[in-house]
Structure 1
């Protein structure tokens, strides 16, 4: 297997990891934030944020940025696949940095806030959609490269 196909397979693993992870966060983890009592909230959120770097943050930022490298080092695919993958990564990155990280910071320092939790869930939908789109495009990439 040449390096470009190997890169695509590695990207595929990351993309599908992120797909499962983002839907778990959207449907289970973020809604659970509202179920934690106010007295325990800051401790709960600190515990959460101390456990996510390796399984959520690192793969998440990689999924936002690696489509650019894949465009240069991956196999030849139709331009729409590459452009869509990169655009979806940019959307995910912007949502994370501009909307989600500041809200997590406020929740961790100020404690439980129903409005912030609702915003966290609502603003996570574009990121969920962008990661879902990346996984779908990755399926097309795999079909294009491995099927032909």
Structure 2
């Protein structure tokens, strides 16, 4: 069971890390290029389409990270699993406290300043997911060694 949890955490975390880098470097910066008249529909479609992509992966990441604290794979230190769970939890906190409210405000209409805030705030999640990827990769390496 610990190996299944580790593989689930590894897969979902690496998926989210790749996705967040794409969103951070490509998608969010391009929001300011959408014409104000088309912005509302574009943003609404982004929110509608991104949820089913990120929701299951984020949930799988968080649940498997929590499971790894309880069912530690052989050869991996407990502090690494705890660190992974903390970082995964922080992505949820930042998403709920920063990114979701910004998206709600952007749903009211185009605002270049809010778009820039979305990009700036998303760097925190980009770093958190990158750190979690490093943690889970280290856990996988140790478990295989």
Which TM-score tier does this pair reach, normalised by the shorter chain?
over 0.9
Deviation at 1:59, TM superposition (A): 1.4
Task: Report if aligned partners of 2:69, 2:78 keep a CA contact under 8 Å in 1.
Answer: no
Match of 2:114, SS state, is helix
Residue number in structure 2 paired with 1:145: 143
| 1:99 maps to 2:107 | no
Deviation at 1:121, TM superposition (A): 0.6
**Between Structure 1 and Structure 2, how many residues are aligned?**
144
Instruction: Please give the TM-score of this superposition, normalised by the length of structure 1.
Output: 0.90
Match of 1:34, SS state, is helix
Residue number in structure 2 paired with 1:112: 110
Residue number in structure 1 paired with 2:70: 72
Mapped to 1, the partners of 2:51 and 2:80 lie a distance apart of 29
Mapped to 1, the partners of 2:118 and 2:62 lie a distance apart of 19
Mapped to 2, the partners of 1:74 and 1:18 lie a distance apart of 22
Mapped to 2, the partners of 1:117 and 1:61 lie a distance apart of 26
RMSD: 1.4
Task: Report if aligned partners of 1:4, 1:75 keep a CA contact under 8 Å in 2.
Answer: yes
Instruction: Please give the TM-score of this superposition, normalised by the length of structure 2.
Output: 0.92
Q: Any gaps of 5 or more consecutive residues in structure 1?
A: none
Q: Matches of residues 36-51 of structure 1 in structure 2 within 5 Å?
A: 36-51=34-49
**Structure 1 runs of 4+ with >4 Å offset:** none
Task: Report if aligned partners of 2:72, 2:81 keep a CA contact under 8 Å in 1.
Answer: no
Mapped to 1, the partners of 2:21 and 2:129 lie a distance apart of 9
